[in-house]
Copies of this chain bind each other. A is one copy, B any other.
Amino acid sequence: MSEHIVSSFDQELEGLGRKIAEMGGLAEHMLSDAMDALSTLDTDLAQKVVAVDPRLDVLQREIEESAVLTIARRQPMAVDLREIVAAIRVSGDLERIGDLAKNIAKRTMNISTEPRVARAAIGLRHMSDIAAHQLKDVLDAYAQRDVERAHSVWARDGELDSLEDAVFRDLLTFMMEDPRNISFCTHLLFCSKNIERVGDHATNIAETVVYLATGESLPIERPKGRMVAAQ
């Protein structure tokens, strides 16, 4: 392989890496803004989160397209091929995280005029702090090809599951206490599910980092902290 070809290939990989970094930054911001909007019922901020989402969709399509073209053009083997497959997978997870943040923002717009149940949002904030932390960690793990860090993100996924179970029970209690809380708390139930799904996608990315570095897949069963609610 001539130096010219190697360097073009590296450039293409770098291009993919830059786009994934952009997606990661956008997804982190969307999640953080969506949670702020939910906490303060700020519909303007929620609207901004929704408006960012198409950019994430476009980036994902671009990554998929250039990844496939790179495979067809360069016929990479082994670790180089894994790099590109990993880029496709990670971009898919980040696109989904953006969707989940968008969903939280849309719920915020729906409940902004309803009677508020302030204490109901506390557990969600705790969940989203953990999810944001998992996302940050796994993006760092991906950027640095850090298998150990990816492993610890993967091992921590159960935490968010158990927290979701607790939030689920709390929200049901608030609903049973006063029927006027039902609509508001129902929307929060969906938000908590969305946050828990962000954690799942962070875990997917962790699995991709391990696959990228080792060529191995992690066991299909994840460590679970879950007792009650289905995925």
Contacts and interface: CB of A to CB of B under 8 A. Distances in A.
A201 interface: no
23 contacts: A57-B220, A68-B71, A71-B72, A72-B72, A72-B75, A72-B76, A88-B88, A92-B92, A99-B231, A102-B231, A103-B231, A105-B230, A110-B229, A110-B230, A172-B182, A172-B186, A175-B175, A175-B182, A176-B179, A176-B182, A186-B186, A190-B229, A190-B230
A186 B99 CA distance: 22
Shortest Cβ-Cβ A-B pairs, 9 listed: A106-B230, A71-B71, A176-B179, A107-B230, A72-B75, A103-B230, A103-B231, A175-B182, A71-B72
Q: Chain A's interface: helix, strand, loop or mixed, by majority?
A: helix
A73 interface: yes
A179 B185 CA distance: 13
A54 interface: yes
Nearest to A180: B176
A228 B64 CA distance: 33
Contacts of A217: 61
A198 interface: no
Nearest to A57: B220
Given A99-B231, A186-B189, 4 more contacts: A57-B220, A72-B76, A103-B231, A175-B179
Given A68-B85, A92-B92, A75 B73 contact: yes
A122 interface: no
A85 B103 contact: no
A149 interface: no
A81 interface: yes
